[in-house]
Each structure stands twice: as C-alpha cells, then as structure tokens.
C-alpha cells in the first residue's frame, strides 16, 4: 500500500514585512513597488509587501492585482469601503509574517531607501519601535509645518515620549509589537504612545528623507490637527482607564455625591436646630445651596453609574476591529 505524505510543505517566513495603506494612489503604487524591490534586492533582504486598498475608486486594486501576478512578494487586501488609515494598518499588521514590520505611505513621500537601515536598527539594536522623523519637510509652512510642530510638541509634553514626529508614516517595529498593538479610529498618529502603554518601551527615532509629493494631492486637510488633539486626550484617557473606568468615574461620582450630601445635611441640621430654638428661618428649599447640593448628588450618581456601566462594557465587549474585506491576494 502506498503511503501518502500528509505533511504540508513548509513556507518560508519572510524576514521583513512592509505594510502600505493606500487610498486612490493608482499612479504611485507601481513605482513604489518597483523601488522597494530594487532596494531590498540590492541589500539581499527577503521581504513581503502588503498593500491595503482602503476602498479606492481609481483602479488602485487592479494595479495591485497585476503587481501580485508579476511579483510573489506582493500581497493585497481590499476593503469594501474607506475605513481609514488606522484600519488599514491594523489589518496589514495582523496579516504580516515578518520578524520586522515596516509601515510606509504609498504616495512616494516616504523613501524606500530608508528601509534597510530601519530594518537593521530593529534587528541589531533591540528596539521595539523606530519612528521616522521628517526633519526637512517639503510641505507648506502655514498649513503643515507649524501646526505639525505644535502638535508634536504637545504630544511630547503630554506623554513624555521624546520623539519629534509622531505622525510620520514611516515606522519600523518588531513583528510581535506590530501584531500586538491595537489601532482603531484615527489612532495611527499615536502608535508610539499605544506601544509604550502596552509595555514596549524601547522606542527610538531616525531622521528620514521626506520627498515632495509626485502624484495627486494630500488626503488630509487642516482639520486633522483638531482631530489630533482630541485623539490625544482620548488615547491618554483610554490608556489609563480602558480596563478600569470605575476608577475615574466612580471616584469623581463618589466625591461629588459626598459634597452634595454634606451640603444638604448641613442645611437640614441647621433648620432643625433653628426650629428647636424657636428661631424663624426660611425654608430649606428657598436656599440656593439646596439646589447646588441636589445637583451635585444627581451628577455624582450619574458619574458613578457611568463608571459601573463602563466596567460592564469593558468586561463583555467583543473585538471592536471588524472590517469587511472584499478581496485578498
């Protein structure tokens, strides 16, 4: 009887995964893929490129399919609609197989020439994460440079992480770091903060070349800086109280309720003492402090209930990162 070998052939796990989120970048994708291949082939680095089409409407997916047919190192994921850069990065990280993962934008403003050095820094210097620093930017002074510097300064002061450019798309990670961190909403700006809060504290940076945009136009407007500050407050709060919302809401609620109850008790006891001594005083409900006390107790109760509900949701919530993938190569 002939024995059948049921062992599956072993797959060569790539040492480097490059995650490229893109949205309507049909002109730049072929040039980027060719540039990456040229640089990494010259440096003899085994790699894969994972291109995540975030609901493009300009034929970008057709280009990715053609590239995948010609180059087995190219993989692709296509979303049914536009979910945003954070969703694309999250799916790309989860699909990655490399010991080192590098993320970069598809608009050719991030240079693939930086990849070998970032790759070496992760492997040889034991960094968890290396963030690119666009030291010399080819952007508008008013709409990009000044707001970006203010934003990064605020993020450094607020978080204590001393890097110059939180929002640079070119970053390198150890594979387990990229596949462990959770990115959602528009939190891609704060990946170093998310990683640091998750316990990956070996974070460095590298000055990288920032190139002028060659095709199309930027997908981000001035409003991203306003959203950035709001997201900074969100990530700071969530990183501290995500798993224990009762600690903040319950504490605030309890303190407000105690203050309100103490004020109400003082008014009530004062009224009883006055009555016992046959002193005529106005009704408790005529005092403005009564309504302040009542409001404080009501708000305190609501805050306490918010913390309690937050604890229930935190313990029972399922994975929030659910994206509808239409196709995958």
What is the 3-state secondary structure of 208-268?
Answer: CCECCCCCCCCCCCCHHHHHHHHHHHHHHHHHHHCCCHHHHHHHHHHHHHHHHHHHHHHHH
* Residue, of 313 and 153, whose pLDDT is higher: 153
Q: Mean pLDDT across the stretch 217-222?
A: 59
CB 90 within 8 A of CB 75: no
Name the percent of the chain lying above pLDDT 90: 45
Q: Which residue matches tokens 């709060």? A: 237
pLDDT at 240: 63
pLDDT at 324: 67
Q: Mean pLDDT across the stretch 296-301?
A: 93
pLDDT tens digits, 153-179: 877 877 778 888 888 889 999 999 999
Confidence of residue 281 (pLDDT cuts 50, 70, 90): confident
* Residue, of 6 and 267, whose pLDDT is higher: 267
pLDDT at 50: 96
pLDDT at 142: 59
CB 33 within 8 A of CB 74: yes
Confidence of residue 3 (pLDDT cuts 50, 70, 90): very low
Neighbouring residues of 282: CB distance < 8 A, sequence distance ≥ 6: none
Tell me the pLDDT of the chain averaged across its residues. 83
Confidence of residue 314 (pLDDT cuts 50, 70, 90): low
CB 171 within 8 A of CB 129: yes
Q: Mean pLDDT across the stretch 180-195?
A: 84
Looking at 281-329, list the stretches that DSSP marks H as alpha helix, in order from N- to C-terminal side.
288-316
Confidence of residue 1 (pLDDT cuts 50, 70, 90): very low
Q: Mean pLDDT across the stretch 304-325?
A: 68
Going by C-alpha positions, the residue among 140, 110, 80, 215 that lies closest to residue 102 is: 110
Q: Mean pLDDT across the stretch 19-44?
A: 94
Neighbouring residues of 213: CB distance < 8 A, sequence distance ≥ 6: 107, 108, 109, 138
pLDDT at 317: 54
pLDDT exceeds 70 at position 300: yes
pLDDT at 284: 82
CA angle, residues 316, 319, 322, in degrees to nearest 5: 140
State the architecture of 16-241 in CATH terms: Alpha-Beta Complex (3.90)
pLDDT at 236: 65
pLDDT tens digits, 241-259: 666 777 778 888 999 999 9
CA atoms of 90 and 188, how far apart (whole Å): 9
Q: Which residue matches tokens 């693939």? A: 112
Q: Mean pLDDT across the stretch 290-318?
A: 82
CA atoms of 269 and 304, how far apart (whole Å): 27
Q: Which of 270-274, 298-302, 309-313 has the weakest average pLDDT? A: 309-313
pLDDT tens digits, 90-137: 999 999 999 999 999 999 989 999 999 999 999 999 899 999 988 877
Q: Which residue matches tokens 């609901």? A: 55
Domain boundaries, the chain: 16-241, 245-316
CA atoms of 153 and 164, how far apart (whole Å): 8
pLDDT at 111: 92
pLDDT at 4: 40
β-strands 129-133, 325-328 pairing: unpaired
CA atoms of 69 and 235, how far apart (whole Å): 40
Q: Mean pLDDT across the stretch 1-19?
A: 59
pLDDT at 156: 80
Q: Which residue matches tokens 């950035």? A: 228
- Residue 243 in tokens: 């798993």
């Amino acid at each position: 009887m002939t024995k059948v070998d049921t062992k599956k052939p072993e797959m060569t796990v790539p040492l480097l995964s490059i995650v490229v989120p893109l949205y309507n970048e049909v002109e730049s994708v072929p040039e980027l893929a060719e540039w990456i291949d040229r640089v990494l082939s010259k440096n003899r680095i085994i790699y894969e490129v994972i291109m995540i089409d975030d609901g493009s409407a300009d034929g970008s997916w057709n280009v990715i399919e053609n590239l995948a047919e010609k180059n087995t190192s190219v993989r692709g994921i296509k979303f049914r609609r536009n979910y945003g850069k954070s969703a694309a990065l999250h799916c790309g990280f989860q699909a990655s197989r490399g010991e080192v993962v590098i993320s970069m934008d598809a608009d050719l403003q991030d240079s693939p020439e930086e990849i070998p050095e970032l790759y070496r820094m992760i492997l040889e210097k034991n960094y968890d994460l290396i963030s690119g620093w666009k030291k010399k930017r080819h952007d508008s002074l008013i709409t990009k440079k000044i707001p970006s510097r203010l934003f990064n300064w605020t993020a450094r002061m607020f978080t204590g992480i001393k890097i110059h450019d939180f929002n640079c798309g070119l970053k390198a990670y150890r594979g387990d770091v990229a596949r462990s961190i959770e990115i959602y909403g528009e939190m891609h700006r704060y990946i170093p903060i998310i990683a640091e809060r998750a316990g990956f504290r070996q974070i460095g940076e590298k000055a990288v070349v920032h190139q002028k945009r060659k095709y199309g136009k930027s997908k981000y407007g001035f409003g991203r800086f306003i959203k950035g500050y709001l997201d900074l407050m969100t990530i700071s709060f969530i990183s501290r109280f995500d798993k224990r919302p009762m600690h903040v809401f319950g504490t605030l609620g309890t303190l407000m309720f105690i203050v309100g109850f103490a004020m109400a008790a003082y008014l009530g006891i004062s009224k009883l003492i006055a009555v016992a001594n046959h002193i005529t005083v106005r009704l408790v409900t005529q005092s403005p402090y009564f309504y302040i006390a009542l409001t404080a107790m009501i708000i305190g109760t609501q805050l306490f209930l918010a913390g309690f509900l937050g604890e229930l949701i935190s313990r029972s919530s399922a994975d929030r990162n659910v994206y509808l993938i239409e196709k995958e190569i």
